[in-house]
């Protein structure tokens, strides 16, 4: 049963990295009088079951610093001090190194840090509570689009016929409300029976976004038939902040340094093989792991849960619909080969927050078509480029062709020998190249 109407200046569906980061950024930029709601059934629940860790590139770390979140997780974050890329078969005794990256993007600023997802998610949720975001531990079930312009009352639903953006517009608008349907709100229904009226609904509800589906936005993409096995290992010797990416024929096997003598493993196999490996008894799993990890850090022990994540690629045909913006995995999903999925989502957040705050300061309708178009122009092309690049990398490396192997090894060797090119790669990987939004440059809105 639907309970009475509430109002919110912005409703965000999804309280993962994307939704919570956006909420905090908007709160900073718009001030405490703006009502921001985040709805997600997992809010308030433990993230201890998330065995993943993420590479947070320098630009993303600057964003978390500006949001006041980084300081509470900094002790858990392991700087990546150098990175080694090898290309070999599983049973090759020697793995020649083709590419090495080392050095900071700025003095004292590593190009990335590794951090376990649960620490960052807990810190984001805590910060969101502290700054007064309304956190609702329930799902968005569906939304009712704004009434059509000139439509009859019978066509209108959601009990929101006032066609005003409520308190938000009163505070920010310096002139008359915009013409046309832009004054009409969207009605968002939550699983607890509440209905919230808002000028802007943000879909941060992940790769299977039901809001994207309900808005009729299709995606371009494909499944890889690969899954990433994720687990954590401890080892005898110190990793010294080194990340290692072994390109094996089935896909990349990444060893990513965590705080202490531990590393996060992201190990790509065909989906069928990944399921077989995950189901192995502990000793057999260990043997498979050791065959790939080798013994360069001494004896290893698998210390975390293991889970396989099926991999795919897509980019939404549109990042916007009427009074709706898609961010994070709801807008795009990429292969974790370059560890950039979340970092791309944070670029969406920084761009959308900047566009909304600019619009609000000009007294514009924050959910209006022009504002959302600006966001889409900023993000969609960049996303497509990064998505296709990671897709190309995966195709180039996840195969057994001797010719392709020769080509990629020559290519990696060349990059390794040209210092300026390498520096550009480091800055690109750190998210500091292109039209970088303010928050990712460490500037407040
Ligand atoms: C193996 C692996 C390794 C990765 N490593 C990296 C890395 O090193 N670096 C990196 O940048 N990225 C990495 N990524 C990608 C990164 O994890 C994702 O891009 C990121 O988690 C996406 O965040 P999100 O908030 O957009 O979506 P999600 O994390 O999927 O969050 C979506 C949220 O929406 C909620 N939700 C769903 N439906 C609804 C609804 N109807 N109403 C309300 N809430 C809803 C869900 O409960 C969830 O909390 C990796 C991914 C994988 C699979």
**Amino acid 175: pLDDT:** 35
Secondary structure of residue 7 in the 3-state scheme? strand
Report the separation in Å between the CA atom of 120 and the middle of ligand 1, taken as the mean of its atom positions: 12
Secondary structure of residue 114 in the 3-state scheme? strand
pTM: 0.88
The mean predicted confidence, pLDDT, of the chain is 85
Q: CB under 6 Å to ligand 1: residues?
A: 13-19, 39-42, 52, 54-55, 139-140, 204-206, 210, 228, 230, 266, 309, 328-329, 336, 339-343, 345
Mean pLDDT of 203-210: 98
Say how many C-beta atoms besides its own lie within 10 A of residue 208's C-beta: 10
pLDDT band at 435 (very low <50, low <70, confident <90, very high): confident
Is residue 166 scored above 80 in pLDDT? no
What is the percentage of the chain residues whose pLDDT exceeds 70?
A: 81
Using CA atoms, how far apart are residues 161 and 154, in angstroms rounded to an integer?
Answer: 11
**Amino acid 295: pLDDT:** 79
Closest ligand 1 atom to Cα of 20: 25
pLDDT band at 341 (very low <50, low <70, confident <90, very high): confident
Is residue 353 scored above 90 in pLDDT? yes
Using CA atoms, how far apart are residues 66 and 209, in angstroms rounded to an integer?
Answer: 28
**Quick one: tokens of 105?**
């993007």
Residue with tokens 């360069």: 296
**Amino acid 90: pLDDT:** 66
**Amino acid 104: pLDDT:** 76
Give residue-wise pLDDT tens across range 74-128: 999 999 998 888 877 766 666 666 667 776 778 788 889 999 999 999 999 999 9
Secondary structure of residue 333 in the 3-state scheme? strand
Give residue-wise pLDDT tens across range 374-424: 999 999 888 888 777 777 777 776 666 666 666 666 666 656 666 666 666
Using most ligand atoms within 8 A of CB, pick from 251, 336, 347 the residue to mutate for ligand 1.
336
Closest ligand 1 atom to Cα of 340: 11
- Closest-CA residue, ligand 1 atom 52, reads 336
Is residue 180 scored above 60 in pLDDT? no
Closest CA to 236 of 293, 306, 282: 293
Mean pLDDT of 235-258: 91
Is residue 244 scored above 70 in pLDDT? yes
Report the separation in Å between the CA atom of 113 and the middle of ligand 1, taken as the mean of its atom positions: 18
Answer with the residue of higher pLDDT: 222 or 276: 276
Give me the half-sphere count of Cα atoms (radius 13 Å) on the Cβ side of residue 373: 4
Using most ligand atoms within 8 A of CB, pick from 12, 14, 251, 440 the residue to mutate for ligand 1.
14
């Amino acid at each position: 049963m639907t309970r009475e109407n509430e109002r919110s200046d912005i409703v965000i569906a999804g309280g993962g990295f994307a939704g919570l980061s956006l909420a905090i950024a908007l709160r900073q930029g718009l001030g405490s009088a703006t009502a921001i709601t985040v709805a997600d059934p997992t809010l308030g629940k433990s993230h201890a079951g998330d065995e993943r860790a993420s590479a947070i590139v320098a630009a993303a770390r600057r964003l978390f610093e500006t949001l006041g979140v980084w300081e509470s997780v900094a002790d858990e974050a392991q700087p990546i001090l150098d990175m080694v890329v090898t290309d070999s078969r599983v049973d090759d005794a020697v793995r020649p190194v083709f590419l090495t990256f080392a050095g900071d993007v700025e003095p004292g600023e590593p190009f990335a840090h590794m951090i376990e997802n649960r620490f960052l998610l807990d810190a984001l949720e805590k910060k969101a509570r502290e700054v007064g975001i309304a956190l609702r531990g329930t799902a968005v079930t569906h939304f009712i689009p704004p009434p059509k312009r000139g439509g009859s009352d019978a066509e209108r639903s959601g009990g929101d016929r006032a066609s005003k953006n409520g308190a938000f517009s009163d505070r920010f608008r310096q002139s008359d409300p915009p013409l046309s349907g832009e004054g009409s709100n969207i009605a968002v229904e939550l699983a607890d029976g509440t209905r919230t009226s808002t000028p802007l609904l943000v879909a941060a509800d992940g790769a299977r976004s039901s809001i994207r589906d309900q808005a009729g936005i299709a995606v371009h993409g494909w499944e890889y038939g690969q899954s990433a096995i994720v687990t954590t290992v401890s080892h005898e010797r110190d990793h010294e902040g080194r990340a290692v990416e072994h390109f094996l024929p089935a896909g990349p096997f990444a060893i990513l340094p965590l705080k202490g003598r531990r590393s996060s493993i992201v190990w790509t196999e065909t989906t069928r093989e990944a399921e077989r490996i995950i189901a192995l008894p502990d000793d057999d799993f260990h043997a498979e792991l050791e065959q790939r990890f080798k013994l360069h850090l001494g004896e290893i022990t698998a210390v975390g849960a293991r889970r396989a994540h099926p991999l795919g690629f897509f980019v939404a045909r549109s990042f916007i619909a009427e009074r709706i913006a898609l961010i994070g995995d709801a807008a795009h999903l990429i292969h974790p080969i370059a560890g950039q999925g979340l970092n791309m989502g944070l670029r969406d957040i920084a761009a959308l927050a900047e566009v909304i705050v600019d619009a609000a300061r000009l007294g514009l309708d924050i959910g209006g078509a022009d504002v959302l178009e600006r966001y889409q122009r900023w993000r969609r092309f960049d996303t497509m480029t990064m998505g296709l690049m990671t897709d190309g990398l995966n195709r180039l490396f996840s195969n057994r062709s001797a010719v392709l192997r020769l080509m990629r090894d020559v290519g990696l060797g060349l990059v390794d020998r040209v210092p300026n090119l390498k520096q550009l790669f480091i800055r690109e990987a750190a998210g500091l190249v292109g039209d970088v939004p303010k928050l990712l440059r460490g500037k407040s809105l």
